[in-house]
Structure 1
């Protein structure tokens, strides 16, 4: 089956419009329409319901779409892995969520660069969802994120679960509870969440945590990024739930205390392509475990290459 026609078909199916799909593919609409007609002729079935607006797939079209997406994803993965195994690439590209740089990721990357001097390391900030797509398309080799997102083409490894802390102003009454607070203690506080540009995100992770304990915070406000949220906290406007590593951000009048609920943790995942068992990836895992041992952090060795 022609891979180009499959790419065209997936574009039309997702855009629900020949015109929009043609714009996305940077081709004219008539050739695109002919390719889809040729595909229908080869298969002997109709893939789209005629006259539907927006364009609607037939049951046969739905079936083809589901399998075409998997086939195209596998093709991209095979291409990327073939290039790596053939030694055509000497760069390891990492996707990461910004908050991890406040933790141990910077130390891990530095140790990795020292132990693998022959590699060029590139880092791109992106959401966990974006990392999954980038892995399947071969644009990155590894991703570091906090969300539990499953995809059959991606292997996700839990590195550790990072405790959550409450950021609050030095004059806040809860600071007297130096041993920590429970989520139930802050449901009536002005709580800043972040980020506000994508879903799901760390903000939805925190909201789900409240739901897990059957709590309904009354004053939630979502802002663009972690630094902005902590700036508001330092101004005495509210509080913010953050991963433990965020405590490295120090502002005047800003303090951190533990959240004591058992489930108050943020997982840290490393994601790779399912087929990737390269020495570069194995070496990266070893660097991670070395840093965790040096920092005295408990972990389970889930990956052995």
Structure 2
């Protein structure tokens, strides 16, 4: 399986067809079609459904999985290339997959220190949630993962991050719950909610909800509070999430009310235990230990 073919397969998917991808790649359409056909033969599956009028080609279920894996393979190859340097200086990329949190300011302080020492290192941030972050760590697509606890950290090295995020409810300023200083689990009964992915399975919030946990009206999930706030502004639902992620000033039309009893998230930064960190990632970890 050649990297060039995988890159061309990705281009076909992202350009919506062989013709458009061939133009972008500057190769002939028949040559690109033969590459895709050869990849299908090698894998023993059909990657595309052909003949759809709305689009020239459409991914099969196997094609969607292969697209995901092809992107991972190409990303790993690109990372390996970027990590190679002449030995005189540390360069390359540090990939950090992170849940959204104000605790990222601690990670940012380490990045500032890192850049001061090694200006040729680039930090790549990937916004995501628990299960996807751990998958990126396990697949080698992330050097570090910032994870909301509790999580089974047995296969990772980790450091706890100081502070945490008070949890609460983001809503329109004229919402009935905005009149109270706090929001209780009982208050959420029947309220359409946007919740962070995975939050209901964690001990912190599921324990806080108590008997009302099975009565939540969850209408959407998210991993970025800003995107959730756009839905809140349009009156779609209220959003459960950490404080301080979006503007909730009087001018914004939104307000945030903390939960009562108070509940806060706790986070840790993790890395794979059974594989050596690249030089750039080692340098970042050193900087992080210094700021903690």
Q: TM-score, normalised by structure 1?
A: 0.54
Q: Which residue of 2 aligns with 1:221?
A: 219
Q: Which residue of 2 aligns with 1:132?
A: 134
Q: Which residue of 1 aligns with 2:94?
A: 93
Shift of 1:190: 1.7
Aligned pairs for 1:45-124 within 5 A: 90-97=91-98, 99-100=100-101, 104=105, 107-108=108-109, 110-124=111-125
Shift of 1:130: 3.4
Higher relative strand content? 2
Structure 1's 142 and 105: CA in aligned 2 closer, same or farther, altered over 3 A?
A: same
Q: Distance in 2 between matches of 1:174 and 1:238?
A: 12
Q: Which residue of 1 aligns with 2:58?
A: none
Q: Distance in 2 between matches of 1:227 and 1:136?
A: 28
CA shift digits 1:56-80 (9 cap, x unpaired): xxxxxxxxxxxxxxxxxxxxxxxx9
State whether structure 2 residue 167 is matched by structure 1 residue 168.
no
Are the counterparts in 2 of residues 128 and 147 from structure 1 also a CA contact under 8 Å?
no
Shift of 1:122: 2.8
- Where structure 1 has 5 or more consecutive residues not aligned to the other structure, the ranges are 1-22, 30-79, 196-200, 290-305
Q: Which residue of 1 aligns with 2:148?
A: 146
State whether structure 2 residue 288 is matched by structure 1 residue 284.
yes
Q: Distance in 2 between matches of 1:109 and 1:211?
A: 33
Structure 1's 281 and 191: CA in aligned 2 closer, same or farther, altered over 3 A?
A: same
- Where structure 2 has 5 or more consecutive residues not aligned to the other structure, the ranges are 1-37, 45-79
Are the counterparts in 2 of residues 93 and 139 from structure 1 also a CA contact under 8 Å?
no
Q: C-alpha root-mean-square deviation of aligned residues, in Å? A: 3.9
Q: Which residue of 2 aligns with 1:234?
A: 233
Are the counterparts in 2 of residues 113 and 119 from structure 1 also a CA contact under 8 Å?
no
Structure 1's 221 and 107: CA in aligned 2 closer, same or farther, altered over 3 A?
A: same
Number of equivalent positions: 207
Q: Distance in 2 between matches of 1:171 and 1:109?
A: 41
Q: Secondary structure at the match of 1:104?
A: helix
Q: Secondary structure at the match of 1:145?
A: strand
Structure 1's 105 and 267: CA in aligned 2 closer, same or farther, altered over 3 A?
A: same
Shift of 1:181: 2.0
Shift of 1:111: 2.0
Structure 1's 144 and 26: CA in aligned 2 closer, same or farther, altered over 3 A?
A: farther
